[in-house]
Structure 1
Amino acid sequence: MRLIIFGPPGAGKGTQARLLEDHRGLTQISTGDVLRDAMDQETTLGKKAKSYVEEGELVPDELVRALAEQAIADEGYDDFVLDGYPRTDQQAEWLTEFLEEHQTPLHVVLRLQVPNEELVRRLSRRRVHAETGETYHLDHDPPPDDVDPELIVQRSDDEPDTVRNRLEVYREETAPLASYYEDRGQLVSVDGTGGIEDVYERITQVLDELE
């Protein structure tokens, strides 16, 4: 099965993609992870991306596209869930063209829907270990008791006002993807509220109907 999962920051895309990987054998393709792996392994694409990152610049869309396409090809063009790509209509069009070239169109695009204030609450409860960078969530994955509380901090981009700004950017830049995939008859909206397992159950119901 070939699918995309997308939604605003804090909607749980990565969590649900990992569950699909664990329980349904789909490979999670996160462009952020793919980018980091390519830089760590110093592949040709990774070296190009690193040159932008080291200069504090955004990695160009064309390079992200190449990394995403390579990751899909590595999976034999099947049994993957894209998490974090595409982000724009242009990227969506590129992806459609690429998959059609290999006769492997998407089966479904899942949009996780969560009210803004719930997203603000979720993200503002995230914490990070100041020394190790390990991420925690005060509700779902709190830091262990033996960790020094003074080392558990809130990132500036997880503060409520910053989260609201991030959500506004999402609405402007990424939300239009819904219209693109709705026009293609591939979009299915999923209620992203409630517990992690509740959301996963809703997703599996959609996928079961497609199989």
Structure 2
Amino acid sequence: MRIALFGPPGAGKGTQAKRLAQAHGLTHLSTGDLFRTAIRERTPLGTRVSELLEAGELVSDDVTNGIVADRLETLAHGDFVLDGYPRTVPQAEWILAHLADAGAPLDAVVSLRVPDEAVVQRLSRRRTDPETGAIYHLDFNPPPADLDADALVHRPDDEPDAIRHRLEVYHQETAPVEAFLREHVRYFEVDGTGTLDEVQGRISGVLAKDRGLAGI
């Protein structure tokens, strides 16, 4: 099974991608993780990513696609779940064509739907440990009891107004990507609210119903 998870910041796609990967033997592919690995291993594309980031520039579609292609090659285009990719129409066009050429088409896209104000509530409750970089959530992942809560930082990008701006940008940028994917691959919308288990159950449910897979 080759699937991609879509959703706004705070929708929980990273957490759900990891859960699906663990539960069903899929490889979790996050472009952020792939960038960090390529930089750490000093691959040619990793060096290019590092240069772009240091210059304050966005990583181009070609470079991003190249890093994804390298990782897919190591998997022999086997079972995986994409987390937050593709982000642009050129990336979507490329990944569908690349997988089709490899004889391993993308099976489905699952879009987690969470109301904007629910996302604001989720993300505004995050706090960061300035010493370790660890991120906690006051409701779902509270800091350990021996950690001074007053020492935690509420980052500027986790302020409600900043989150709303990020959501506006997300909706503007991803609307054409979603429209493209709807036309070319099985596309499911799943309610992303509720407990982690409830959301995972909904994702597995739509995939099992469509593909007739008892194990997913």
TM-score by length of 2: 0.94
Partner AA of 1:16 in structure 2:
Q
Q: Which residue of 1 aligns with 2:15?
A: 15
Distance 1:121 1:182, change over 3 A: same
**2:31 corresponds to which letter in structure 1?**
T
> Is 1:27–1:79's contact at 8 Å kept on the other side of the alignment?
yes
What is residue 83 of structure 2 aligned with on the other side? 83
Amino acid across the alignment from 1:30: S
Q: Partner residue of 2:65?
A: 65
The number of aligned residues is 211
TM-aligned CA deviation for residue 185 of structure 1: 4.4
The residue identity in structure 1 corresponding to 2:7 is G
C-alpha contact (below 8 Å) 2:192/2:199 kept by paired residues: yes
Counterpart residue number, 1:174: 174
Question: Is residue 53 of structure 1 aligned with residue 65 of structure 2?
Answer: no
Q: State the one-letter code of the partner of 2:195.
A: G
Map 1:1-211 onto structure 2 (within 5 A).
1-209=1-209, 210=211, 211=213
RMSD over equivalenced CA pairs, Å: 1.1
CA shift, 1:150, in A, is 3.1
> Aligned equivalents of 2:5 and 2:59: distance in 1?
22
Task: Report the Cα distance in structure 2 between the residues aligned to 1:129 and 1:140, rounded to whole angstroms.
Answer: 16
Q: Distance in 2 between matches of 1:140 and 1:74?
A: 35
Q: Distance in 2 between matches of 1:128 and 1:24?
A: 31
CA contact (8 A) 1:6 1:84 kept: yes
Gaps of 5+ in 1: none
Letter in 2 for 1:148: D
Deviations 1:147-206 (A, max 9, x none): 122331111111100000000001100132221121124111001011111000001112
Contact 2:111 2:188 in 1 (8 A): yes
Amino acid at match of 2:109: V
The Cα shift of 1:207 comes to 2.0
Aligned partners of 2:130 and 2:6: how far apart in 1?
Answer: 29
**151-160 vs 8-17, which deviates more?**
151-160
After superposing the two structures, state which structure 1 stretch, 115-124 or 72-81, moved more.
72-81
- What is the TM-score when the length of structure 1 is the normalising length? 0.97
One-letter code of the match for 1:183?
E
Moved over 4 A (4+): none
Q: Deviation string for 1:104-145 (max 9, x for gaps)?
A: 111110000011110110111111111111111111101101
Instruction: Describe the SS at the equivalent of 2:106.
Output: coil
Specify the SS of the correspondent of 1:164: helix
